Amino acid sequence: MAAAKSEAIVLELAGHEVTVTSPDKVFFTKRGETKLDLVNYYVSVAEPLLESMGGRPTLLQRFPDGASGKSFFQKRVPNGAPGWLQTTEVTTVNGTTSNALVAADIAHVVWAVNPGCLGSHPWPYRAGRPEVSDELRIDLDPFPGVDFDDIRDAAFSVKDLLDELGIQVVVKTSGNRGLHLYVRLEPRWDSYQVRAAAVALARELERRHPEHITAAWWKEERGPRVFVDFNQNAPHKTVFGAWSVRAPVGAQVSAPIGWDEVTTVDPDLLTIVTVTQLVAERGNPWAGLNDRPQDITPLLERSAADLAAGLMDAPWPPEYPKQPNEPPRVAPSRAKKVPDHTGADGTDAETGGESRGQ
């Protein structure tokens, strides 16, 4: 006999009424946390969460059956959404537009949880100023032959370089086995410039730590080194948000941490239960981040110096149009075998398709 569905509840949040249907539905099977547990978690971290992503467009990733079920991305806010819900038009790399949810307040976040959105994928700009990217995002993720200790060491290498350049950087767990580093930026640069700064950062890190860090886009060139994924800063890219809950059944959080915690943190233990306790005990490690925007001119100067020295732009993801000064989008091993089959636009002339680095 099927269990009876729990009755919907209505919450008053930020001056809005938000309906939560099936609040007792289990979303995370490891300990049995429910949809309402997830809602309560977000309400408990509302202040630091909104300090990080408030006012940003957000991509919806829905898990209708909870973390152990299938998911899909929903680019558009569906018809029938409440009238108070704020949206903004976003454009993909191929020119497709859609009305994305804006994380205007905690009511908007909880509204997204109700149809099964576990966490948020915010854009690196504010809805009111899409032409300006105000986040540099440094993604350090595991790779075959790379473990979490290697990720920790790479994170400190990033911090050392940025400290040298006078650029403040903060860190969070990815919610899995990686680390994400963020620099809040002065509102001066677009996403193409921010990506150029990220490429320059990755290349300088590889020069200083060639055995441990790589800027190589093609997997076959990386070896057992930590890859600094500069393309997470490409236009229209979204990255999993700070304080957001991942899909593992243990309800792990992509949690901001202090630099003094990097050496000891166990990402698996940062869940909706423990993170709520940590925020209550020690506050927000990213507090005041928006009050200290950073200047990435030193990285842009390094980018200009690299180009002047003859370096081409780094490869772009395959879904992006061919960019000026970009090398052919063919894996190096393939390019050596068939050097005459690559068109000027970087596509494989034999197949008409693009080889993928990721």
CATH class of 9-131+238-287: alpha beta
Going from N- to C-terminal start, the domains of the chain cover: 9-131+238-287, 328-358
C-alpha 357: how far from chain center: 18
Q: Name the pTM for this structure.
A: 0.90
Can you give the pLDDT at residue 320?
93
Closest C-alpha to 171, from 185, 188, 158: 158
Can you give the pLDDT at residue 337?
63
Can you give the pLDDT at residue 332?
86
Q: Could you give the C-alpha distances from 81 to 38, 40, 245, 292, 344, in angstroms and in order?
A: 21, 22, 23, 36, 46
Can you give the pLDDT at residue 94?
81
3-state secondary structure the chain: CCCCCCCCEEEEECCEEEEECCCCCEEECCCCEEHHHHHHHHHHCHHHHHHHHCCCEEEEEECCCCCCCCCEEECCCCCCCCCCCCEEEEECCCCCEEEEEECCCHHHHHHHHCCCEEEEEECCCCCCCCCCCCEEEEEEECCCCCCHHHHHHHHHHHHHHHHHCCCCCEEEECCCCCEEEEEEECCCCCHHHHHHHHHHHHHHHHHHCCCCEECCCCHHHCCCCEEECHHHHCCCCCCCCCCCECCCCCCEECCEECHHHCCCCCHHHCEHHHHHHHHHHHCCCCCCHHHCCECCHHHHHHHHHHHHCCCCCCCCCCCCCCCCCCCCCCCHHHHHHCHHHECCCCCECCCCCCCCCC
Report the chain (358 residues): mean pLDDT per 10 consecutive residues. 71 98 97 98 98 96 95 91 96 87 98 97 95 97 90 98 98 94 98 98 98 95 95 94 96 98 97 97 96 98 98 95 91 70 39 34
Can you give the pLDDT at residue 352?
33
Give 264-307 pLDDT, tens digit per residue: 999 999 999 999 999 999 999 999 999 999 999 999 999 999 99
Give 71-129 pLDDT, tens digit per residue: 999 889 998 899 999 999 998 888 889 999 999 999 999 999 999 999 999 999 999 99
